[in-house]
Amino acid sequence: MRTPGAFVLGGDANQIVHPNFFSWAQIKSLFWADPRMTSGQDLQVLTHNFRNGRKVTGMANRLLEIKQQRFGSIDRESNFLVDPVGDSAGQIRLLDAKPSALQALNRQISQSTQYAVLVLREEDKAAARAVFSTPLLFSVQEAKGLEYPHIVLYRFLSDHRAPFATLCEGVSKAGLGAETLTFRRAKDKGDKSLEVYKFFVNALYVAITRAVESVMLVESDDQHPLLDLLDIRSSGEEGVQVQASSRKDWQKEARKLELQGKAEQAEAIRSRILQDQTPPRPVFNARGVEELTRKIFIDQVVGNKWRQQLFEYAAF
Q: Give the Cα separation of 151 and 159 in Å (integer).
A: 18
Q: What is the pLDDT of residues 246-275, one digit of tens each?
A: 999 999 999 999 999 999 999 999 999 998
pLDDT for position 71: 87
* Cβ neighbours of 247 (radius 10 Å): 10
Structure pTM? 0.82
User: In the predicted model, what is the mean pLDDT of residues 229-245?
Assistant: 85
Asked if residue 178 lies in contact with residue 65, where contact means CB atoms within 8 angstroms, the answer is yes
Tally: H helices and E strands in the chain:
13, 7
For the domain made up of 13-245, the CATH class stated in words is alpha beta
pLDDT for position 32: 65
Q: What is the pLDDT of residues 29-54, one digit of tens each?
A: 776 666 666 565 667 788 888 889 99
Domain boundaries of the chain, sorted by first residue: 13-245, 286-315
